[in-house]
Amino acid sequence: MDKKLIVANWKMLPNTLAEAQEILELVNDYLESIGEKKEFSLVFCPPFVFLEGVGRILKNSHLAHGSFLGAQDIAIDDGGALTGEVSGPMLRKLGVEYVIIGHSERRWKLAESDEMINKKLKSALRNELIPIVCIGEKSRDSSFKEFLEQQIETTFKDLSSDEIGKCIIAYEPVWAISTNPGAKPDTSANALESISIIREHLNLKFKIKNLKFLYGGSVNSQNISDFIKEKEINGVLVGGASVNKEEFVRVLRHIT
């Protein structure tokens, strides 16, 4: 069985590198305690300002084996005048290997356009970073299937099958994200249905079959087993529970 991929999207938390270190130390202690029995790989996606520090901590601990650094965003261009942005080459120099693209908080709260997301995806691929591409409907109403299909087409516009094959797709229904009003986790049955819709559409449009899928949206220690037990779900994208150090270790305990 392939190792499951657990991606910790810390969003705009924690507030200090010292707090980030505490999370990593607890995870490190847990990994040390289970030794070779680890059935997962980890990706930590801290805020930009902590990438260097977190990268250093990962390198100098047990986390060096099977833990990777991820960014939450990337600039559309590799250099030049783009105030406030962080480029792919900069991320590479910091040891970043993954980058989250098209997160719903960027799509809806920061009005990131489909065109921008598509450019960021191209930027990640150009810089040989593994894109974790977020796809998800705002509400599971009668048109959610069309919504997903439309989002796929704009997000992956003009990409080759080879390029799309390098992406990991995170199915993240917006309504299931813990900080959104009335949020509740999706059921694994719904998640599997959506993943199958996404897979079929990508196959129809771009002839791609073997993609890896994550589920994200209120994943915690109570529900992770429901998702991770499915062979079509290759891992999870965890928000809130990944910055609560005790809860994050409880999440990991369910995978080993």
Cis peptide bond upstream of 14, omega within 30: yes
Contact call for residues 97 and 68 (beta carbons, < 8 A): yes
103 is catalytic: yes
| Angle separating helix axes 245-253 and 17-34, nearest 10 degrees | 30
d(CA 215, CA 245): 20
Can residue 240 be called a binding residue for ligand 13P (CB under 6 A)? yes
Q: Which residue is nearest to ligand 13P (CB)?
A: 239
Residue among 137, 163, 172, 201 flagged as catalytic: 172
Whichever of 80 and 182 has its CB closer to ligand 13P, that residue is 182
Contact call for residues 191 and 212 (beta carbons, < 8 A): no
Q: How far is the CB of 195 from ligand 13P (least distance, A)?
A: 16
172 is catalytic: yes
Q: How far is the CB of 93 from ligand 13P (least distance, A)?
A: 25
Identity of residue 104? S
Q: How far is the CB of 6 from ligand 13P (least distance, A)?
A: 11
Q: Which of 21, 218, 223, 234 binds ligand 13P (CB under 6 A)?
A: 218
Whichever of 101 and 206 has its CB closer to ligand 13P, that residue is 101
Close Cβ partners of 36 (under 8 Å, ≥ 6 residues apart): none
Cα atoms found within 13 Å of the Cα of residue 155, Cβ hemisphere only: 25
Contact call for residues 41 and 68 (beta carbons, < 8 A): yes
Q: How far is the CB of 170 from ligand 13P (least distance, A)?
A: 7
Can residue 238 be called a binding residue for ligand 13P (CB under 6 A)? yes
Q: Which residues make up the interface to ligand 13P (CB under 6 A)?
A: 9, 103, 172, 177-179, 216-219, 237-241
Active-site annotation, residues = 103, 172
